[in-house]
Amino acid sequence: NAGVTQTPKFRVLKTGQSMTLLCAQDMNHEYMYWYRQDPGMGLRLIHYSVGEGTTAKGEVPDGYNVSRLKKQNFLLGLESAAPSQTSVYFCASSRDRENSPLHFGNGTRLTVT
Amino acid sequence: AQSVTQLDSHVSVSEGTPVLLRCNYSSSYSPSLFWYVQHPNKGLQLLLKYTSAATLVKGINGFEAEFKKSETSFHLTKPSAHMSDAAEYFCVVSVMNTGFQKLVFGTGTRLLVSP
């Protein structure tokens, strides 16, 4: 049982380049999330989805887009990368909205030069 | 607004001694609270959660936390530290926002365990 899988694990981009981070979960969870983790700041929610075909903004959505075309996949896109987007990105999923625990992937370390 | 404050950025203990990681929260409502652990180069894993049942919550790996409303605290404890407990720990408060559970993360406490 793989749980939540993120690809790639590492990536280096130049300013202005684009990329897509892929998240896949095999637990049939309705809810999926993208977070970024920066030193001394905890985790901050970028975007989330409450079901297939839905997306919503979190607390730091600027510069990112997401799509949830299939229930098991949640994609995070950077259209024009900036050095401020250097971070570790985590995908998570949960069964429902009422205090069910989040299951996290192992993260993607992104560096934008 | 709901928030959570982890009072120590780093805690160092010796193997076999007790662990105390401190967390204070601010919430307008009766909160749900969580502790997550993150080992190096891994995602976060749920240790335990409080959802208005018993105030003393037991989690995995011998950890427990006590919800104290009068002190607005949710400190994490373990009687005896193991080397494998070295990790970063996050206190989290749950906020219901337009019908959606939003989690507010603390900034984390790094636990160092020495032999």
Predicted confidence (pLDDT) per residue in B21-79, tens digit: 999 998 777 788 999 999 988 889 999 999 877 889 999 999 999 999 899 999 999 99
If one counts every other C-beta atom within 10 angstroms of the C-beta of residue A50, the result is: 16
Position B4 pLDDT exceeds 70? yes
Chain A neighbors of B46, CB-CB under 8 A: 101-102
Is B26 in the A-facing interface, judged by CB distances under 8 Å? Answer: no
B90·A98 Cβ contact <8 A:
no
DSSP three-state, residue B113: strand
Separation between Cα atoms, residue A80 and residue A25, nearest integer Å: 27
B19 Cβ contact partners less than 8 Å away, ≥ 6 residues apart: B11, B13, B63, B76, B77, B78, B81, B85, B111
Is A74 in the B-facing interface, judged by CB distances under 8 Å? Answer: no
Separation between Cα atoms, residue A44 and residue A92, nearest integer Å: 12
Separation between Cα atoms, residue A9 and residue A42, nearest integer Å: 20
Cβ burial, residue B33 (10 Å; 0-12/13-18/19+):
buried
Q: Are A29 and A42 in contact (CB under 8 A)?
A: no
Q: What would the two tokens of residue B50 be?
A: 């409080």
Confidence of residue B111 (pLDDT cuts 50, 70, 90): very high
Q: Chains A and B: how many Cβ contacts under 8 Å?
A: 51
Is A14 in the B-facing interface, judged by CB distances under 8 Å? Answer: no
Per-residue pLDDT of chain A (113 residues; tens, 9 = 90+): 679 999 999 999 999 999 999 999 999 999 999 999 998 888 999 999 999 999 999 989 999 999 999 999 999 999 999 999 999 999 999 987 766 889 999 999 999 99
Best of A23, A31, A36, A37 to substitute, by most chain B Cβ atoms within 10 angstroms, is A37
Is B52 in the A-facing interface, judged by CB distances under 8 Å? Answer: no
B44·A43 Cβ contact <8 A:
yes
